[in-house]
Structure 1
Amino acid sequence: MNVRVVARYRKAVSYGIHALLAALEQAGTPVEIGLGTTPEETAALIAEPGADRVLVLWSFYSPDAEAMAAELAAVRALADGDHVLHIAGGVHATAEPQHVLDSGWDLAGIGEGESTIVALAEALRAGTELKAVPGLALKDSDGVALRTRPAPQLPLDACRSFPTPRRHVGPIELTRGCRYTCRFCQTPFMFGGQFRHRSVGSVREHLRGFREHGLRDVRFITPTCLSYGSPGPDADLGPVEELLAGVREELPHARIFFGSFPSEVRPEHVTPEAMRLLKKYVANDNIIIGAQSGSDRILEASGRGHSTAPVRDAVRIAVEHGFRPNVDFIFGMPGEEAEDQAASLRLAEDLVELGARIHTHTFMPLPGTPWRDADPAFIPLETMRRLDTLAQRGEAYGHWRRQADHSVRLAETAKAYPRRTKRRRAE
């Protein structure tokens, strides 16, 4: 059967869509590909004649689940049929497949999607049973999510970050998984609590595509960039330099962005040696440092793995070496009391004096994390005023107010979908 794959293509999730398109390309799966940048364009691609089956890809983060469900309903109203299947993937679908299915999707993708998308496209082409496809959740006859066997976690070198067309080229996924199992973060609980690093050889292979397209800006996706090449908590600058030198050798005129979005640096990894190494190779004048709290008590409770002391040191060292630190703080973490918030505000203001800028967040009880069912701490008006003052002076930025609204909705979803102790498996 002829299969068309239509992706609801949004900037916020383009990296994940690129990885799926790359998997289909690598596998040589003969399917049509369409990218819908609006609901109307997505519906028009679904409605085009010529396909026996249409598979529509959706990916979104947990805070966007409600808005995407409304968009799904709008797309279905414009173009639908028995030959159309809508699948949601990503961190929210992995953690909350029952919520995804109840919200209108036909399938939920569980875990890493490369193996699943290839097997699913092949099953649709062959007209075979979807229960044999790994990494899916689909509704059983009683409406309960039925899970197929888990999809394998592949070596990162087996997965390209993007397909060959120039318009899809983007950051190279350098590391998948994270050994720092912070209780508020979805990454280690979706991708595993160990690092899987891409080899320098695989990075260079990606860069040959950059050269063919005449591109020279190189960025990386990694939860902690100075952990590259290391299996454990300590940074190993040898592999980091091998990587950056390899990029420079492959693309002599490349502008390398490393430690800035979409990557970051853990504070205890910021040393004079590390900053001198980055200064030798990178084009970015800023780095992102994750502090998360100014309270040692909250940092310990969150499983963050460091205290406040290395945060101050990291900012001081980064500034001394010519970088502007953007420092992440999360307000309203579970168990946070007035003195903890006061400590965070004091630290944030001290870091501003040292030359940092503060990136403010509100705690969200994200699905799939140990704090999924935790109650966010109350953020009093005085704390909000001080955050607003920092923002008005250009010393802080972020969408913490919007995240506070998301936090309420996520807490409501968590109560409506309590954790299940048993997961129903397909035979």
Structure 2
Amino acid sequence: MGMSRMMLSALIVDLLAHSRGTRLWTRDVIGSGPRTVGGVLEQQSVSVDLIPGDLLLRSPFLMDNYDVLLISGMVTDLPIASQVISAWRRRRGKRPIIAGGPFSGYAERILEQGVDVVVIGEAEATLQELSRTSVFDEARIEIEELERIRGLMLRKNNRVVYTGPRPPLTTRDLSKFRPSCKLATHYPGYWAYRFYVEVVRGCSNFLLSPIAIETKKLYPGCAYCSVPSYWGPARSIPLDRIVEEVKCLLDAGVTRIVLSGPDILDYGRDWVSANHLLAVKPDDPPPNMDALRKLFKELFEKTGFSGDKNSIIVENVKPVTVNEDTASLLGEFFSGTPINIGVEGGDENLLRRMGRPGALAQAITAVELLAKNGLYPQVYFIYGLPGQDESSLQKTFNVIKQVMSKGADRIILYRFMPLPRTPLEDYTRKEKLSPLELELENFVKKLNYKSKTRMIGRKILGIIASRRKETYIAYPLSHGPVIYAYTDKDHRKSLEGRIVKILITNIHSDRALEGKILTIGKNIRKSSKWENLLRAA
């Protein structure tokens, strides 16, 4: 059986939130999920490769030598997933297709599109068992065999079968799995992209919201968020695994690392709580300062980090864990970099009904503390929630003004979308925005545009990722808005792959800057597996 498994090969398709094939948001974000899946399969001696979904659709012959397809997608990815599934069926027939990731909340729809098996929630233990079945031994689906594995959804006799949930993986469990480092180099342009490294799995807000009790949909956490119901309570990834992964990625040529999790300040809190994961509340126990300092110190000292060649930043914090001490610690290691923080709205009563922990005053203070310690707060707000009225929206306008006055660098405004496995999953979102919602969108665009004027005159290290006629597209090394960069000199060779110093000269839009290339440094560009293969074809 071991030899037959070695003969089979699997292809992971990362749909990258491309929706219908065009990236909706920033192009340079690479999540940790597909590499985590790849790492599990590598540990089980499965030959595995990874490819972005849009590249596979442009060159479908690249799938021809694989026996099993695994698709990872976001909730917006159902249209492009359907295209990938159809292409596989045309070229690879009935060979198995497995799907997972955040869009597994739409498992029944995914199964209708032609997927054989959907992995629900945390994938590691489920995939470990799945890799020992006929799926990976013979590229064949045996329903009775799969029914014994928890964490799967599949079809049997024209009906959908859910094999049942798994308990959350413990920190000890998580230490057994290692995300693939090799597969990072399968993304074309990986040397310029942001790679997310998981530091905290799950959410510390495992309380029931008032609206969950009202609707009798007893999913924990904020009513608009599915993280707790899919990924469980907050658990810290073992330090040695994080350091090993970051070092491996940097050694492979990755330049931009994002420490990922719903709240970086949850790190290590589960290690000092009572003897149960659910004993961790959003603000109790307090942040584990010793664990956080050790994590940050080892990442900057033991991974090969070099500030002029690569960067390490953090993704998210919750207001309830930000205080003088934690803000100071974050500033000590990450000053001059962005950090995301959710305020979410201006109506205290509405947010409380949604289960949002903490008070608005605390959130506004958290933004101020982060800014005072040299970070650039990127502040999330949501609109369109059930129960929102004009009064709620006016309060949101006011709170946005307050956080901007306290040092927020950017407002990230997003429209509510009902997600599966949340108390609001059955809510029908209205199709048209109200005049006040449209005004809010325009207000935020203008604020973000104005905020970027503070960057004019700054000199920023960036990576030239691509070229459009006479303009280069650059990503700031330590993250920030995309830069449309130009140079007065005529370069015979393209500057793609160069680390450059850019003087910011103008605002391109509320999401992008313009700048002049001052100095040109080392070329870090490396070809991905697929670029090499396509050149040879």
Larger CA deviation: 324-333 vs 215-224: 215-224
CA distance 1:30–1:264, change in 2 (3 Å): closer
Match in the other structure for 2:505: none
Per-residue CA deviations over 1:117-159 (Å, capped at 9, x if unaligned) read 3333331244463334442211111x22112354554332222
Matched residue type, 2:236: H
Corresponding position of 2:113: 103
TM-score of the superposition, structure 2-length normalised?
0.66
**1:161 correspondence with 2:179:** yes
Provide the secondary structure at the position in 1 that maps to 2:92. coil
SS at match of 1:111: coil
The match for 1:364 is: 417
Q: Give the corresponding residue for 2:163.
A: 148
Q: Do the aligned partners of residues 46 and 207 (structure 1) sit closer, same or farther apart at CA in structure 2, a change above 3 Å counting?
A: closer
- Residue 338 of structure 1 corresponds to 390
**Identity, % of aligned positions:** 23
* Superposed CA offset, 1:74-131 (max 9, x none): 414642313x1222211221x3322221232222111211223333333124446333
Q: Deviations over 1:170-208 (max 9, x none)?
A: 33211111121111111111011x211012222223244
Structure-2 residue corresponding to 1:17: 34
Deviation at 1:250, TM superposition (A): 0.8
1:304 paired with 2:356, answer yes
Cα deviation, residue 338, structure 1: 1.4
Cα distance change of structure 1 residues 4 and 391 upon mapping to structure 2, 3 Å threshold: same
Say yes or no: does 1:138 pair with 2:154: yes
Q: Which of 223, 234, 238 lines up with 1:199 in the alignment? A: 238
5 Å-filtered alignment, 1:5-404, equals: 5-12=10-17, 14-27=31-44, 29-33=45-49, 35=51, 37=53, 38-40=55-57, 43-48=60-65, 54-65=67-78, 67-72=79-84, 74-76=86-88, 78-82=90-94, 84-93=95-104, 95-123=105-133, 124-127=135-138, 129-141=145-157, 143-151=158-166, 153-154=168-169, 155-164=173-182, 167=185, 170-180=195-205, 181-192=221-232, 194-210=233-249, 212-213=251-252, 217-231=256-270, 232=280, 233=283, 234-251=286-303, 253-255=305-307, 257-259=312-314, 263-282=315-334, 284-356=336-408, 357-376=410-429, 379-393=433-447, 394=449
Alignment-mate amino acid for residue 147 of structure 2: K
Q: Is the 1:92–1:367 Cα contact (8 Å) retained in structure 2? A: no
Q: Secondary structure at the match of 1:171?
A: strand
Choose between structure 1 and 2: higher helix proportion. Answer: 1
Provide the alpha-carbon RMSD of the alignment.
2.8
Give the length in aligned residue pairs: 385
Q: Secondary structure at the match of 2:121?
A: coil
DSSP-derived class of the 1:335 partner: coil
Cα deviation digits, residues 2-22 of structure 1 (max 9, x gap): 422122233446521111111
Q: Secondary structure at 1:246's aligned position in 2?
A: helix
Rate the CA distance shift 1:396–1:182 in 2: closer, same or farther, 3 A. Answer: farther
2:378 counterpart SS class: strand
Note if contact 2:16-2:74 (Cα within 8 Å) is conserved in structure 1. Answer: no
The 1:44/1:115 distance shift into structure 2, 3 A limit, reads farther
Does the Cα contact within 8 Å between 2:151 and 2:163 map onto a contact in 1? yes
CA contact (8 A) 1:7 1:42 kept: no
Rate the CA distance shift 1:252–1:104 in 2: closer, same or farther, 3 A: closer
Deviation at 1:284, TM superposition (A): 4.5
Amino acid at match of 2:69: V
Q: Distance in 1 between matches of 2:50 and 2:348?
A: 49
Give secondary structure in 1 for the equivalent of 2:69: strand
Aligned partners of 2:380 and 2:412 also within 8 Å:
yes
Distance 1:179 1:30 in 2: 34
Q: What's the offset of the Cα at 1:42?
A: 6.6
**Which residue is 1:422 aligned to?**
none
In 2: Cα distance, 1:165 partner to 1:383 partner: 42
AA partner of residue 200 (structure 1): L
Could you tell me the TM-score, scaled by structure 1's length? 0.81
Gaps of 5+ in 2: 18-29, 206-220, 271-279, 453-480, 482-537
| Structure 1 segments unaligned to the other structure (5+ residues) | 399-427
**Alpha-carbon distance, 1:355 to partner:** 2.9
Closer, same or farther: CA 191–293 of 1 in aligned 2, 3 Å: same
Higher strand share: 2
Determine the C-alpha separation between the residues in 2 that align with 1:341 and 1:242: 42
Deviates more, 1:99-108 or 1:18-27: 99-108
- Conserved 8 A contact 1:156-1:176: no
3-state secondary structure, aligned to 1:235: coil
Q: Report the alpha carbon displacement of residue 379 of structure 1 after superposing the two structures with TM.
A: 4.3
Q: Is the deviation greater in 331-340 or in 213-222?
A: 213-222
1:370 corresponds to which letter in structure 2? Answer: P
Work out the CA distance in 2 between the residues paired with 1:150 and 1:268: 30
Shift in alpha-carbon separation, 1:43–1:203, aligned structure 2, 3 A? same
Change (3 A) 1:149 1:364: closer
